[in-house]
Structure 1
């Protein structure tokens, strides 16, 4: 389902919301949480009270561009922080720990490279899985190595307690 979803957009122009079947849509949450929502609240409140809008379209677009740039940077920092701590978590675990996962899809079926959802950390990771493993299969994994500084984790699929997969060093 996620693969069918499109990224959100922010604009001063009305746009359709296909999933909701609406011709025009505006998202405003708590103005305490997001600066862009605070601007939308100002505009809506002025409109509903019959007052002039506090911002022109050009002024709003300038604010939106700054908000989007800041949001992208925050998102990048959050992703890198999560990657670091996932690798650090695996680095601290005993080497004989086993992790259950679910093969969600293939990235490259010929090379047995797939996306696996790790139950314990609710995170998707790239893993080289054994021949015969099919999408939807539950598999066991062992961490062969973890490097928090480079945000890498190498996982191997295991069977009956021994490593049988080639593993892949995965950038988180």
Structure 2
């Protein structure tokens, strides 16, 4: 079904629906999207504490440093706490980005013109609410469609209402 969708942003939006949430855990697990039976993620150990833990566990497991790997009973509570903190940081980041977007749109409001976009997928088809990509802004946002549309249709998107104090953004889109 994905192959029938237009390549690019439309197909990516639908592929993301099938992705599972990553999890921190003490035992090796498969990575479904990569097709691997076991997967370990780490970047620079100075960037994230969970990467430091993964790096240290790997080094001790390979006997590259003199220490014992942390036991499951010790590392699992750490991973649970890190996962919760990571979700909170992600949520704060999303809220901050949205706040900045709304303030930016308010500053542009007097000279805001219709933007080119593409319909990605329905969020609530019964309410004409779709996820759209606004190309000039490189953003995906919900918008109400005035006309019948399908994934890949080109749109003209207008800001109907924006109010940072109420966390409000209403976009209207028409085929175009």
TM-score norm. by structure 1 comes to 0.83
Aligned CA distance change for structure 1 residues 89 and 28 (closer, same or farther; 3 Å): same
Deviations 1:54-76 (A, max 9, x none): 42211111211221121111111
1:19 matches 2:33 = yes
Residue pairs, 1:106-117, within 5 angstroms: 106-117=122-133
Q: Distance in 2 between matches of 1:123 and 1:96?
A: 16
How many residue pairs get aligned? The number is 160
Q: Paired residue for 1:78?
A: 93
Q: Paired residue for 2:144?
A: 128
Computing the radius of gyration over CA atoms, which structure comes out larger, 1 or 2? 1
Q: Paired residue for 1:147?
A: 163
CA RMSD of aligned residues (A): 2.0
Bigger relative CO (Cα 8 Å, ≥ 6 apart): 2
Q: Distance in 2 between matches of 1:42 and 1:74?
A: 24
Which shifted more, 109-118 or 6-15?
Answer: 109-118
Aligned CA distance change for structure 1 residues 155 and 13 (closer, same or farther; 3 Å): same
Instruction: Indicate the structure with greater helix content.
Output: 2
Q: Distance in 2 between matches of 1:18 and 1:114?
A: 28
Q: Paired residue for 1:10?
A: 24
Residue pairs, 1:57-96, within 5 angstroms: 57-93=72-108, 94=110, 96=112
Please, which of 63, 68, 80 is the counterpart of residue 49 of structure 1? 63
Aligned CA distance change for structure 1 residues 73 and 108 (closer, same or farther; 3 Å): closer
Aligned CA distance change for structure 1 residues 128 and 13 (closer, same or farther; 3 Å): same
Deviations 1:14-40 (A, max 9, x none): 211122222211111110111011011
Query: Are the aligned partners of 1:91 and 1:145 in contact in 2 as well (CA < 8 Å)?
Result: no
SS of the residue corresponding to residue 36 of structure 2 reads coil
Q: Distance in 2 between matches of 1:14 and 1:42?
A: 15
Which shifted more, 78-87 or 132-141?
Answer: 132-141
